[in-house]
Amino acid sequence: MKIGVIGTGLMGLPIALKILEMGFKVIVYNRTTSKVEPLREAGATVAGTPQGLITASDCILLMLTNQEAIESVLFRSEFQSILSGKTIISMGTISPTESKNIQKEIIKAGGNYLEAPVLGSIPEAKSGKLQIMVGSTEAQFKQWFHVLQPLGEPKYIGEVGSASALKLALNQLIASLTTAFALSLNFVQGQGVDIELFMEILRKSALYAPTFDKKLQRMLEENYQNPNFPTKHLLKDTNLFLQEAKSMGLNVSSLEGVRAILEATQKLGKLDDDYSALFTTLKP
C-alpha cells in the first residue's frame, strides 16, 4: 500500500517519518521543497506535484493549515478525475462545516473522505502517541485503522464533522487555559509573590492543568523559539471555534477576549513563535 502525505511542516514531517518507519511505502509533497529532504533521505518518494502524489497513492494524508490550502490542492479542475477511488484523510484542524463541505466535494469526485485531527504535538508525533479523533463511517474507521494506529491512539468519534468539532473544543481550552494561567502568573509576579510557592499551591489544587508546567519556563524566560504549536495556528483555530459557536448561539464573550490577546501577540511579531508568547502581551 502506498501512503501519500501532503504537507510536511511541523507535524507532517514526523507523521510521515513514523509511517515510513512502520514499513509503508510513502510518497510526500510539500510546496516548500526543502521540507521534504529529511523524508527523501529516510527513503520516501518525493512527488513533484500534488497531482503526481494523488495518482501514485492509495490513501492520502493531508496535514495542511486550513480549508483554503486543502481546496488549492484537491479541487483544481484538473484534479477531479484523479480523486476517483482515492481515500483522503484530513489530519489538520478545520471546522466541522468546512470538513463536511470537503467531504461532499470528494464524494462527488468519486473519492472517500475521513477526518482525523490529532491532539498532541511534535514529541507525541515522533513517539507515536498522538490522540487521533476520527470522523467517518465505522467501516472506514476499521478499514484505515492500520494506517493511523502507528501514529498513536485512533478513536472513533462519529460521522464527519464530529471529530473536527471535538478538536476545536480542545483547542479552545488550550487558548483559554493558557491565557488564564499567563494572566495569573503575571499578576503574582508583579505582586512580588514567589513563583515556586504559587506553583506549589497550584499543583496541589483542583485548578491545576499539566500544560501550566509545560509553558512555565518559556514564559518566565520569555523564550518562545522552536514552537511545537505557533501563535498563528492557535489564533486560526480560535477564530474557527468562534465562528461555529456563534452559529449555535453560544455566548463566546470570554473567548473573544482571548482572541484579542492572540491578535495583540501577533502584532508584536510573534506569529511564528510558540503561543505561550501571549504571556509577554499581558505584561504592562
Q: Write out pLDDT tens, residues 171-193.
A: 999 999 999 999 999 999 999 99
Instruction: Record the pTM.
Output: 0.93
Distance of CA 279 to the CA centre of its chain: 22
Q: For the chain, first and last CA: distance in Å?
A: 56
Do 219 and 279 touch, CB atoms closer than 8 A?
Answer: yes
- Residue 42's pLDDT band, with cuts at 50, 70 and 90, is very high
Instruction: List pLDDT tens digits, range 21-30.
Output: 999 999 999 9
Average pLDDT over all residues of the chain: 95
> 163-280 adopts what CATH topology?
N-(1-d-carboxylethyl)-l-norvaline Dehydrogenase; domain 2 (1.10.1040)
Residue 81 in this model has a pLDDT that exceeds 90: no
Residue 77 in this model has a pLDDT that exceeds 70: no
Do 92 and 37 touch, CB atoms closer than 8 A?
Answer: no
DSSP state of 276: G
Catalytically active residues, by annotation: 167
Beta-carbon contacts of 146 under 8 Å, excluding residues fewer than 6 positions away, are: none
Instruction: List pLDDT tens digits, range 220-279.
Output: 999 999 998 999 999 999 999 999 999 999 999 999 999 999 999 999 999 999 999 999
Q: What local confidence, expressed as pLDDT, does residue 266 receive?
A: 96
Which class is domain 1-157?
A: alpha beta
- Report the C-alpha gap between 195 and 78 in whole angstroms: 59
**In Å, what is the CA distance from 66 to each residue of 115, 209, 226, 244, 284?**
13, 28, 21, 15, 34
- Structural domain boundaries in the chain: 1-157, 163-280
Do 174 and 126 touch, CB atoms closer than 8 A?
Answer: no
